[in-house]
């Protein structure tokens, strides 16, 4: 008997049962894949660091001249050192290699035989290179349109070699664009040959594992090694992948929100279906069927729908989960989500258990309803409170469909509250990646990378063929003046500004704690484009500004004095400002432009900004100058930002279309399901409206308007919630990387275009669901209360 009842019930409500099955399927897919991805993503960076054997501390030196001195200190005096290793890198200029990097990152040659900071192929497997082969990071191959087998020319000193691209490398230590360095991997034999060139510029790398990172770093700073350029801890390496994790976080958030939507719809459908069947339940009670016997009918139906939907959803969640994090794993090696198959099985079992318990507790309330009340649809025929709504006599000029739709909303708010919550979640969900994308594109983001968004264009490098890499500010200034003359010859009246980068030793006045800090100094005309959170920009020769992170770490305040070691002597400087940016992961200093640093070795320089009067955009001018002066690489600010955040903007842009499609599809399914249920409950009212002369189009318009009212009310409610998500979700994520910035909101896009797409989908689904009202006959009036 139970099987026959189940078959008839499935045939009687085909559309409702199909949609309910789809939501069971979606709930299983998103719950299983999202929980699995949460486990994978939350441990992704730690997994990658362990997989690549990243040391606790990585010391980078300008040259190998102090190798013996540093090694002796590590062997004999350095505190808490567990083990260490040494390796070298060869610096490569843009002009000495046949590939380019628009982000302006310095490129280095390395080998596959390092015991720390290992590199892997795209699948996360170790690889070997034969003589004459090279491996490049993905960002370089994509920008230069390279594929396996293509040739790459490399020159270091007087040695020039041509290599064949063997594979794309994943490099935990130097693979992220935030590092500012790109490592090109070659065979150890080729490396020994090139490093033997006397003119090759070699950097030293010390990989140190220590039981007390803070004590080791503090004691090392006291040594004052002159060639020490930078100290990178494993925590810094983890932070540079935070931008990669933004996308992963968005995908997981999407999954969680869709799970919540699916469960809300499930609850609404269960309650609505039970209320619709009150009369059948009353008859079954009247003929003597016990309460649990009635419950079993519904439990069997939903058990069939839940088990079939959940099992299929579990099978689909494995490839979908891998697809969701595939874009995140481009720059990282992540644990295979299929390794956590038990999570998918557990999630499926959880959904089945939860839904069946939910069904059981929902049907328990039928025990409190008498057979007569159930036959009457659960109503007693009495109302004990005034019904809310809008008054017709006060809205006499309002069209009838509009009045009916608005009155429905105000009279039955509880009926629409679940629908409004679902719509609000969807609206908020679409704003999160949009606001992230708009922030990435903003002028403020460019400023956080020390780029003036008002500049006409930028140049990655300005060394010419035959030039050595610029190692002091005098060479950089001379190079910028040369480019200005070349631009003048082409008819451009331009001024250039460069950002030179140094690593200088600092200590607080009257303290003996030394620190090696990255310092930037603007050289050229545009020296006042940067912003400060507190204080002012350093202008006088004895003034300096520090990032917020360094100020808090050292308990410095504006007005404090610090000693900088410049030209072999300590120079006392006063702190005039505090700023927040992404240079050196938010830990840097800005030197005043007046002080002469020509005697200091310049570690590198940041992209050269070009200022001139032009009516062209940065992109248009870059394309024009790349044709007229092809010896330099002209780029726009946004291109530099994109490359330094790992191409996150491109991934977000690729995500927006499918994500909008998924959300629109889910909302349309929800709207279609609820509208069909509303119509099923309102057959009597619709039949009565037909009997007094209402047209089908008028009734459909009434149905559409009330759903649109719910959607618009949801969007209005979602606006403050979206602003809260900006403040408490997105802003802290950007701040982790060292810079505090305001989340950028483009109103016409966030509150107009994309919600408009969702509302259009809601309207279309309502129209499709309401098309069936022509099948409702006048005799359905007999079913009214």
DSSP 373-429: HHHTTT--S---SPPP---GGG-TTS-HHHHHHHHHHHH-HHHHHHHHHHHHHHHHH
Q: How far apart are CA 111 and CA 124, in angstroms?
A: 17
* Residue, of 483 and 220, whose pLDDT is higher: 483
Q: Write phi, then psi, for 535 (nearest 5 degrees).
A: 75, -160
419 near 408, Cβ under 8 Å? no
Q: Where are the alpha helices (DSSP H) in 13-110?
A: 14-42, 44-52, 67-76
Angle between helices 2-12 and 291-326 (to 10 degrees): 60
Is the model's pLDDT at 207 over the cut of 90?
yes
Q: What is the residue extent of each domain of the chain?
A: 1-54+235-379, 85-210, 399-443+647-785, 462-632
689 confidence band (pLDDT: 50, 70, 90) = confident
The residue-averaged pLDDT of 554-567 equals: 91
- Report pLDDT for 329: 65
- Nearest CA among 684, 695, 681 for reference residue 777: 684
Q: How many CB atoms lie within 10 A of CB 618?
A: 21
205 near 60, Cβ under 8 Å? yes
The residue-averaged pLDDT of 310-330 equals: 75
Q: How far apart are CA 331 and CA 308, in angstroms?
A: 37
- Report pLDDT for 198: 82
Q: How far apart are CA 565 and CA 225, in angstroms?
A: 12
Give Cβ neighbours of residue 668 (< 8 Å, ≥ 6 apart): 761, 762, 764, 765
In three-state secondary structure terms, 55 is coil
Give Cβ neighbours of residue 643 (< 8 Å, ≥ 6 apart): 101, 102, 103, 105, 139, 143, 177
487 confidence band (pLDDT: 50, 70, 90) = very high
Residue 626, CB-side half-sphere exposure with 13 Å CA sphere:
16
User: Of 448-462, 621-635, 720-734, which gets the smallest average pLDDT?
Assistant: 720-734
| pLDDT digit string, tens, across residues 48-67 | 889 999 999 998 888 888 88
- Report pLDDT for 478: 92
Eight-class DSSP state of 365: G
Is the model's pLDDT at 388 over the cut of 60?
no
Q: What letters, b where the CB count within 10 A reaches 16 and e where it falls short, cover 757-784?
A: bbbebbbebbbebbeebeebeeebbeee
Give Cβ neighbours of residue 11 (< 8 Å, ≥ 6 apart): none
| pLDDT digit string, tens, across residues 214-268 | 888 888 888 878 888 778 888 888 877 776 666 666 766 776 776 677 677 777 7
The residue-averaged pLDDT of 481-496 equals: 93
Q: How many CB atoms lie within 10 A of CB 56?
A: 20
Length of the chain: 785
- Nearest CA among 743, 65, 694, 115 for reference residue 431: 743
* Residue, of 471 and 392, whose pLDDT is higher: 471
Give Cβ neighbours of residue 249 (< 8 Å, ≥ 6 apart): 41, 733
Whether the model pTM is above 0.85:
no
- Report pLDDT for 578: 95
Angstrom CA distances, 129 to 107, 332, 451, 762, stand at 19, 21, 38, 56
The residue-averaged pLDDT of 185-194 equals: 92
In three-state secondary structure terms, 227 is coil
The residue-averaged pLDDT of 584-588 equals: 86
């Amino acid at each position: 008997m139970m099987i026959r009842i189940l078959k008839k019930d499935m045939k009687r409500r085909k559309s409702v049962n199909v949609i309910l099955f789809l939501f069971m399927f979606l709930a299983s897919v998103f719950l299983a894949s999202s929980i699995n991805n949460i486990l994978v993503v939350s441990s992704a960076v730690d997994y990658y660091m362990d997989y690549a054997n990243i040391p606790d501390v990585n010391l980078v030196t300008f040259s190998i001249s102090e190798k013996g001195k540093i090694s002796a200190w590590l062997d004999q005096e350095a505190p808490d050192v567990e083990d260490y290793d040494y390796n070298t890198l060869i610096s490569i200029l843009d002009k000495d290699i046949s590939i380019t990097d628009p982000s302006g990152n310095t490129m280095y040659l390395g080998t596959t035989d390092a015991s720390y900071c290992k590199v892997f192929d795209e699948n996360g497997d170790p690889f070997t290179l034969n003589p004459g082969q090279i491996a490049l990071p993905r960002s370089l191959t994509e920008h230069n349109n390279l594929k396996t087998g293509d040739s790459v020319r490399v020159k270091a000193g007087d040695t020039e070699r041509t290599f064949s691209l063997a594979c794309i490398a994943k490099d935990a230590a130097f693979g992220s664009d935030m590092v500012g360095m790109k490592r090109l991997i070659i065979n150890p034999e080729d490396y020994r040959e090139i490093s033997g060139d006397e003119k090759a510029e070699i950097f030293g790398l010390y990989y140190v594992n220590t039981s007390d990172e803070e004590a080791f770093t503090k004691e090392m700073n006291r040594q004052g090694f002159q060639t020490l350029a930078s100290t990178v801890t494993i925590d810094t390496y983890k932070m540079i992948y935070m931008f990669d994790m933004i996308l992963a976080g968005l995908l997981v958030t999407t999954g969680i929100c869709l799970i919540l939507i699916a469960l809300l719809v499930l609850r609404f459908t269960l309650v609505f279906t039970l209320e619709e069947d009150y009369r059948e339940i009353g008859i079954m009670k009247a003929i003597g069927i016990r309460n649990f016997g009635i419950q079993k009918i519904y439990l069997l139906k939903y058990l069939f729908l839940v088990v079939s939907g959940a099992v299929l959803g579990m099978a689909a969640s494995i490839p979908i989960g891998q697809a969701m994090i595939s874009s995140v794993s481009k720059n990282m090696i992540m644990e295979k989500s299929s390794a956590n198959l038990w999570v998918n099985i557990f999630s499926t079992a959880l959904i089945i258990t939860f839904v069946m318990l939910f069904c059981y507790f929902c049907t328990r309330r039928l025990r409190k309803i008498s057979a007569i009340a159930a036959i009457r649809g659960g109503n007693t025929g009495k109302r004990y409170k005034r019904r809310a709504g809008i008054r017709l006599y006060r809205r006499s000029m309002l069209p009838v469909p509009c009045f009916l739709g608005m009155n429905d909303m105000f009279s039955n708010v509880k009926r629409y509250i679940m629908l409004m919550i679902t719509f609000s979640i969807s609206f908020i969900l679409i704003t999160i990646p949009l606001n992230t994308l708009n922030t990435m594109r903003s002028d403020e983001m460019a400023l956080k990378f020390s780029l003036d968004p008002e500049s006409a264009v930028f140049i990655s490098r300005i060394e010419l063929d035959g030039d050595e890499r610029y190692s002091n500010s005098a060479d950089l200034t001379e190079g910028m003046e040369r480019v200005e003359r070349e631009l003048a010859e082409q008819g451009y009246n331009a001024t250039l500004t460069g950002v030179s980068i140094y690593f200088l030793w600092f200590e607080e006045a009257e303290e003996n704690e030394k620190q090696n800090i990255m310092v930037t100094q603007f050289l050229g005309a545009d020296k006042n484009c940067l912003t400060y959170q507190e204080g002012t920009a350093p202008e006088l020769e004895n003034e300096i500004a520090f990032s917020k992170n360094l100020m808090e770490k050292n308990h410095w305040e504006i007005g404090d004095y610090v000693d900088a070691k410049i030209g072999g002597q300590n120079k006392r400087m006063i702190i005039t400002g505090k700023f927040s940016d992404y240079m050196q992961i938010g830990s840097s200093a800005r030197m005043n432009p007046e002080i002469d640093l020509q005697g200091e070795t310049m570690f590198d320089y940041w992209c050269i900004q070009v200022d001139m009067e032009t009516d062209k955009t940065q992109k248009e001018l870059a394309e024009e100058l790349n044709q007229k002066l092809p010896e330099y690489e002209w780029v726009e600010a946004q291109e530099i930002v994109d490359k330094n955040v790992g191409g996150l903007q491109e991934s977000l842009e690729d995500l927006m279309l499918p994500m909008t499609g998924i959300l629109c599809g889910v909302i349309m399914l929800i709207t279609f399901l609820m509208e069909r249920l509303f119509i099923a409950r309102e057959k009597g009212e619709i039949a009565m409206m037909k009997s007094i002369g209402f047209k089908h189009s008028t009734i459909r318009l009434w149905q559409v308007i009330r759903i649109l009212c719910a959607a618009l009310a949801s969007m209005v409610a979602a606006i403050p919630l979206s602003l809260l998500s900006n403040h408490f979700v997105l802003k802290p994520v950007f701040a982790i990387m060292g810079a505090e910035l305001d989340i950028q909101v483009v109103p016409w896009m966030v509150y107009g275009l994309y919600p408009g797409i969702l509302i259009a989908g809601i309207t279309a689904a309502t129209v499709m669901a309401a098309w069936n009202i022509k099948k409702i006959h006048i005799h359905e009036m007999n079913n009214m209360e």
